[in-house]
């Protein structure tokens, strides 16, 4: 009883510490990148997936108001919990709708409000659940409570875990569902119960209507379990598991039949070509090195602990070998870990963009691998005197390393530079604003939070400046955004536009205010 009480308090302490770090970094998040703004727009806009839909597909020559931008990203009064519009929007986008339904539900609790905190609040709940289920998975595999707490700490305070939390996209939900699937497979390996198979089918369905890439780890994990069950001759379990898993996959077609269009229309690799990457053998070492760097950077504490454990095991190998004869070493964890390694390699080789978010959901499995090494270390040192003291000291070291990592390496997706952008725009919010772009909505979406500082703005292409000059109306100065992204959108040349303004009007001065990856912002004056 005393041990259980201590374990509960240790878990509470871990969650309190992680919560504090979560709010620290959430407060530092100053901006959003384009996919996060899409998350709000696709969740909350009323049958208007993208900004072009607000203007019936034609943006050039049109004026956007602040209210129109606000209505795109926020739930307005009376439009809350609109499941149908989210479904419609996702049919016309790529990702399936589950995360967007959840975000819409949270935003519906705070109508006429747009804030990073609604998305972060959803992610926080999912983050805490991920840590708890990871702890339970470790325990289901037969490892000690200390190992489970270590897993929760290593993941909860990792750079990559925190990055998943502060990124307002579906990846936090995807990670939770991945860990839940791991837990259910661990339960099935411990003991067969029909409800575990039924729940597995439901989790497979939930994962697939969250993100299509869920299928990779799910497939290899389920295949690994089938092999495990065949070896163990657990045919009754397989008779339940296989149909439930297949029904979960087929359920995607019933819930979201638009997935067929998405999958077969090659919409999954925006801006990239997975098959081309797969055929590019020369880039294999480079891509693997890049994605390994994401893991080593994001899991510093886990990597250090794993290396120390390996060294200790090697030093005391003979002792461990002798102990292993008397203790059955359970390798069930490898059923969960090996599929993650396989999927990691696949993702590294074919991902359209070198971004760590494509492996976020695999990180708990890698943390589990570190905990497996901790278990081996415990077996190696198990007969030492003061074993309890050693285990306590080891857990404290784990927590100290994890806190050090959280202190020294801030997560991605904080965008501190956007605080400066907001301040610059605030100084010129009374000026007119012109956005030079064609009918591509990407760059404008990326700049949406800054554009909301203006009462309205006018969209002009780079061929006819008459409309833009009429909109400005002879003001002494105005703010001009230029869509400069060649890869994603219009790819306009700012110098060309500035020269054209000088030639056709008295606006002959241009000061660069700031620039991001998709646009450049200028103050144009006489």
Q: Tokens for 434?
A: 């012109």
Does the structure show a pLDDT above 90 at 40? yes
Is residue 266 scored above 70 in pLDDT?
no
Would 98 be classed as within a structural domain?
A: no
pLDDT at site 256: 96
C-alpha dihedral sign at 77, 79, 81, 86: negative
Last residue of one domain, picked from the residues 383, 408, 433: 408
Reported confidence tier of residue 287, pLDDT bands at 50, 70, 90: confident
- What is the value of pTM for the model shown? 0.91
**Distance in Å from the first CA to the final CA of the chain:** 79
Please compute the mean of the pLDDT values over residues 387-412 and round it to a whole number.
68
Helix (H) or strand (E) holding 291: helix 284-298
Is pLDDT above 90 for 47? yes
Is 468 buried (19+), middle (13-18) or exposed (0-12) by CB count in 10 A? buried
* Mean local confidence (pLDDT), 89-102: 95
Average pLDDT, stretch 235-244?
A: 96
Please tell me the total count of domains within the chain: 2
The pLDDT assigned to 442 comes to 94
Asked whether residue 301 falls in the same domain as residue 205, the answer is yes
Q: Which of 96, 97, 47, 98 is nearest to 71 (CA)?
A: 47
Q: Tell me the residue range of the domain where 258 lies.
A: 2-30+120-408
pLDDT at 274: 59
The answer to the question of residue 222 being in a domain is: yes
In the chain, what are the helix, strand and coil shares in percent, each to the nearest 5? 65, 5, 25
Q: Same domain for 265 and 170? A: yes
Q: What is the signed CA dihedral for 224, 229, 232, 235, rounded to 10 degrees?
A: -160
The predicted-structure confidence for 156-180, as pLDDT tens digits, reads as follows 988 899 999 999 999 999 999 999 9
Length of the chain: 526
**Contact between 160 and 355 (Cβ < 8 Å):** no
Confirm whether 398 is domain-assigned: yes
Q: Rounded distance, CA 521 to CA 525, Å?
A: 13
Give the confidence band of 384 by pLDDT, cuts at 50, 70, 90. very low
254 and 318 share a domain?
yes
| Residue 432: half-sphere exposure toward Cβ, Cα within 13 Å | 17
Question: In angstroms, rounded to a whole number, what is the distance separating the alpha carbons of residues 223 and 340?
Answer: 12
What one-character DSSP code corresponds to residue 276? H
With a cut of 50, say whether residue 270 has pLDDT above it.
no
> Are residues 399 and 456 located together in one domain of the fold?
no
How much is the pLDDT for 392?
62
Which residue has 């729940």 as its token pair?
A: 199
Domain-terminating residue out of 408, 440, 465: 408
pLDDT at position 317 over 70: no
User: Distance between CA 488 and CA 338 in Å, rounded?
Assistant: 36
**331 and 423 in one domain?**
no
Task: Quickly tell me which residue has 């990670």 as its tokens.
Answer: 175
Report the alpha-carbon distance of residue 321 to residue 481 in Å, rounded: 67
Which of 381, 408, 435 terminates a domain? The answer is 408
Same domain, 371 and 423: no
The DSSP bridge partners found for residue 523 are 479, 511
Residue 173: inside a domain:
yes
Q: Which residue has the higher pLDDT, 58 or 265?
A: 58
Q: Angle at CA 100, nearest 5°, toward 221 and 217?
A: 10
CB atoms within 10 A of CB 505: 16
- 473 in any annotated domain: yes
Radius of gyration of the chain from its Cα atoms, rounded to whole angstroms: 26
Partner residues linked to 509 by β-bridges: 525
Residues 438 and 392 in one domain: no
Give residues with Cβ within 8 angstroms of 297, minimum separation 6.
159, 160, 409
Report the C-alpha gap between 373 and 143 in whole angstroms.
Answer: 11
Q: Report how far apart, in Å, the C-alpha atoms of 516 and of each of 21, 22, 33 are.
A: 28, 26, 10
Whether residue 311 is found in the same domain as residue 456? no
**Arithmetic mean of pLDDT over the chain:** 88
Indicate the range of 54-58, 323-327, 372-376 predicted with least confidence.
323-327
Q: Is residue 47 part of a domain?
A: no
Task: Write the pLDDT tens digit of every residue in 129-161.
Answer: 999 999 999 999 988 888 898 899 889 988 899
Q: Is residue 435 part of a domain?
A: yes
387 shares its domain with 258:
yes
pLDDT by residue (tens digit) across 227-237?
999 999 999 99
The answer as to whether 510 is a domain residue is yes
What residues have CB less than 8 Å from 347, skipping those under 6 apart? Answer: 213, 216, 291, 358, 359, 362
Same structural domain, 329 and 424: no
Q: Are residues 381 and 492 in the same domain?
A: no
Provide the pairing of β-strand 509-515 with 519-525. Answer: antiparallel
- Say whether both 132 and 215 belong to one domain: yes
**Is the pLDDT at 192 greater than 80, yes or no?**
yes
For 105-117, what is each residue's pLDDT tens digit? 999 999 999 999 9
């Amino acid at each position: 009883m005393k041990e259980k009480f201590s374990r509960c308090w240790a878990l509470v302490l871990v969650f309190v510490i992680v919560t504090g770090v979560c709010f620290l970094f959430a407060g530092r998040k100053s901006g959003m990148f384009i996919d996060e703004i899409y998350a709000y727009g696709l969740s909350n806009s009323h049958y208007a997936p993208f900004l072009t839909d607000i203007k019936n597909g034609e943006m050039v020559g049109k004026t956007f108001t602040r209210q129109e931008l606000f209505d795109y990203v926020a739930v307005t009064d009376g439009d809350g919990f609109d499941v149908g519009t989210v479904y419609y929007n996702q049919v016309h986008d790529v990702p399936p709708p589950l995360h967007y339904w959840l975000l819409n539900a949270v935003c519906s609790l705070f109508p006429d409000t747009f804030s990073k905190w609604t998305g972060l609040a959803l992610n926080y709940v999912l983050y805490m659940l991920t840590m708890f289920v990871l702890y339970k998975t470790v325990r289901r595999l037969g490892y000690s409570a200390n190992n489970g707490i270590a897993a929760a700490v290593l993941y909860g305070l990792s750079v990559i875990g925190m990055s998943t939390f502060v990124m307002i996209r579906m990846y936090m939900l995807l990670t939770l569902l991945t860990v839940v699937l791991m837990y259910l497979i661990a339960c099935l390996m411990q003991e067969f119960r029909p409800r575990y198979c039924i729940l597995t089918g439901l989790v497979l369905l939930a994962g697939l209507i969250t993100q299509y890439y869920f299928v990779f780890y799910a497939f290899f994990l389920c295949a690994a379990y089938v092999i495990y069950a065949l070896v163990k001759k657990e045919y009754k379990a397989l008779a339940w598991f296989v149909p439930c898993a297949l029904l979960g996959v087929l359920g995607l077609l019933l819930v979201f039949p638009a997935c067929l269009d998405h999958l077969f229309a090659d919409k999954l690799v925006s801006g990239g070509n997975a098959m081309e990457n797969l055929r590019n053998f020369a880039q294999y070492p480079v891509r693997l090195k890049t994605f390994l760097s994401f893991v080593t950077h994001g899991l510093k504490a886990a990597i250090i602990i794993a290396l120390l454990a390996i060294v200790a095991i090697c030093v005391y190998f003979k002792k461990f070998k002798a102990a292993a004869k008397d203790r059955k070493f359970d390798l069930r964890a490898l059923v969960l870990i090996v599929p993650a390694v396989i999927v990691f390699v696949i993702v590294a080789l074919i991902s359209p963009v070198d971004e760590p978010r494509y492996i976020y959901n695999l990180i708990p499995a890698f943390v589990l691998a570190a905990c497996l090494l901790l278990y081996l270390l415990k077996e190696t040192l198990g007969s030492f005197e003061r074993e309890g003291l050693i285990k306590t000291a080891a857990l404290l070291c784990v927590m100290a390393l994890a806190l050090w990592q959280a202190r020294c390496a801030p997560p991605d997706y904080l965008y501190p530079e956007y605080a400066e952008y907001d301040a610059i725009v605030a100084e010129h919010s009374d000026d007119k604003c012109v956005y030079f772009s064609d009918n591509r909505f990407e760059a404008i979406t990326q700049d949406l939070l800054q554009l909301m500082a203006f009462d309205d703005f006018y969209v002009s292409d780079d061929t006819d400046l008459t409309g833009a000059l009429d909109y400005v109306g002879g003001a002494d100065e105005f703010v001009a955004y230029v869509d400069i992204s060649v890869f994603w959108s219009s790819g306009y040349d700012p110098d060309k536009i500035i020269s054209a303004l000088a030639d056709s009007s008295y606006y002959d001065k241009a000061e660069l205010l700031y620039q991001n990856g998709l646009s450049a912002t200028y103050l144009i004056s006489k």
